[in-house]
Amino acid sequence: MLGQMSHQPLLISYQLRFADRFHHNIEVISRSVEGPIDRSSWGNVARRSRKLANALVAMGVKAGDRVATLAWNNNRHLELYFAVSGIGAVLHTVNPRLPLDQLRYIVDHAEDGVLFFDNTFVKLAQYIASQQLPVKRYVAMTDAANLPPDTHLPELTDYESLIAPHSEEFEWPDFDENTASSLCYTSGTSGNPKGVLYSHRSTVLHSYAAAMVDSLGICAGDVTLPVVPMFHVNAWGVPYAAAMVGSKLVLPGPGMDGRSLLELIESEKVTSLLGVPTVWMGLLTHMKSVGYTMTHVKKVTIGGAACPPSMIEAFEQQHGARVIHAWGMTETSPIGTVNTLLPKHAGLSAEAQMAVKRKQGRPLYGVDLRLVDDDHHIVPHDGETSGHLQIRGPWVASSYFRRDRDESHDGEWFYTGDIATIDADSYMQITDRSKDVIKSGGEWISSIDLENAAMGYPGVAQAAAIGVAHPKWQERPLLIVVKQPGADVTAEEIQAYLTTKLAKWWLPDAVAFIDALPLGATGKVLKRQLREQFADYKLPT
């Protein structure tokens, strides 16, 4: 027997329609590429998205067509999020930090017909135009006065002139909720990037999940600033969830440095921040250098890479903001696990609480997790035994765009490539990427634990542990450290400190210093590049 409830499909356009009807006046602020702050509102975003939808249709964009963006977090990008998906086309958010060969590959692979770009990326647009790719039209996300001159880009228009002649009336069409809505390629540390094709259904369900209290808790009571880029994994779904719940949104544009972020956080009274650890490192360093304590921020969501306990401490103890540590992937939309404490943790000491908070968190309803060993046997959730992490659920990819078979799916479970433990309370903890594990004498050493411990030592800004060849143990850990500006730490001091924190056989055989760690397109440390750089490193015997 079937239920007798309405068949309204789960479509992204309904989120915008709802925001327009019920959160009309809630502000949406963004820093423009030109510099000034652009003040909009959900009502205005909805109105301009309808004009844009008319413009896209007039341009010949049809259901299923891919429309690419090379853009920061800003209002026009937000309008593209809703208008492109709303007409049934697919928004392909391109990561401008990708190496050029990968950029070329994905624009070609996705067959993007139109490219919208911020003026910052005019050179990348010109590169794309020079490569005989499918892109036919270019739109600079600015107004006529700021249209870059002499670009020689075919059919170039500025965004404001493009939408100006079009009507504010547009009836968002209904279609199957499984229709593709957006496309994001993984940064592909080896081989070509792979496209993850989200659907309206997966996006809307993920939005509900993002808004849950035990999740990112996106809500009307918060002023939300996603530093996590809209060009990667839909800014963790924040734009959609914010439209749904009516959160004031503050978009930082190109200003991702500590000083620009702090200015916006304070002037807009931001209460909720979201981003990767490298961004927070910049903000914390800046605030320390100017002796500033944040006044309004209540929560900082940190994910994309392991959040060191020293960062949790800095936000919680110095700035009075709660840290929400989360784990996810491009393939999981991205939210998989989120760390919130249980009632049983309330009375624990700060140290015992930190042992919980440093973990990547518990699965949200909607996703299912398990661990398997090398032979695909399930391993226990005892907090000790580590295994390969697998995940399934309605916002987890089932395959990659235009790729028939892939070893990372078995039809039901997605193989994350992460090594993790899950404890009796279901807190998952990542110990490593499987390709980054350090194997000493047949046993794994968690590079994340080593790095977290090292970053607890004053004067250490960042740390990365890699395995280096060793005649007896096959591999031993080398710790690579970036010092805090002006700090005068030595390898011996760091090693002495680590002996108080780690098991003896986990201790790095050597500590090397470096000016900056190599970062990939999503702000993560490129371990592969470090391993190449230190391939000939001779550990002391």
List, in order, residues 6 or more apart from 390 with CB less than 8 Å away. 369, 370, 371, 372, 413, 414, 415, 416
In the bound state with ligand ADP, the residue whose beta carbon lies nearer, of 41 and 186, is 186
How would you write 36-73 as a 3-class SS string? CEEEEEHHHHHHHHHHHHHHHHHHCCCCCCEEEEECCE
Residue number with CB closer to ligand ADP (113 or 309): 309
Binding mask 475-514 for ligand ADP (x = CB under 6 A): ----------------------------------------
The residue from 62, 136, 435, 439 that is catalytic is 439
Report whether 234 contacts 197 (CB < 8 A).
no
| Cβ atoms within 10 Å, residue 280 | 22
Q: Looking at this protein, which amino acid is placed at residue 30? A: S
Q: Looking at 69, 186, 271, 337, which residue is catalytic?
A: 186
In terms of CB distance, is 159 or 198 closer to ligand ADP? 198
| x-marked contacts with ligand ADP along 274-303 as a string, rule CB under 6 A | -----------------------------x
Output 145-151 pairs: Cβ under 8 A, ≥24 positions apart: 146/34, 146/119, 148/119, 148/122, 151/122, 151/125, 151/126
Whether the Cβ atoms of residue 333 and residue 206 lie closer than 8 Å to each other: yes
In total, the chain counts a number of residues equal to: 541
- Whether the link from the prior residue into 334 is cis, omega within 30° of 0, is yes
330 binds ligand ADP (CB under 6 A): yes
In the list 59, 94, 133, 306, the residue contacting ligand ADP (rule: CB under 6 A) is: 306
Map the footprint of ligand ADP across residues 170-189, applying CB under 6 A. 186-187
Task: Write down the catalytic residue from 27, 189, 263, 444.
Answer: 444
Residue of 198, 315, 327, 400 interacting with ligand ADP (CB under 6 A) = 327
Q: Which of 305, 324, 364, 479 binds ligand ADP (CB under 6 A)?
A: 305
| Residue 331 among the catalytic residues | yes
Restricted to residues 187-226, the positions that interact with ligand ADP (CB under 6 A) are 187
CB of 253 to ligand ADP, least distance (A): 21
277 sits in which H/E element: helix 277-290
Q: How far is the CB of 518 from ligand ADP (least distance, A)?
A: 13
Beta partners for residue 197, in sequence order: 183
Contact 482, 500 (CB under 8 A): no
Choose between 53 and 212: whose C-beta lies nearer to ligand ADP.
212
| CB-based contact 417:408 (threshold 8 Å) | yes
Tell whether residue 429 is a contact of ligand ADP (CB under 6 A). Answer: no
Task: Clarify whether 444 is annotated catalytic.
Answer: yes
Active site residues: 186, 331, 439, 444
Residues binding ligand ADP (CB under 6 A): 186-187, 303-306, 325-330, 360, 416-418, 430, 433, 522, 524
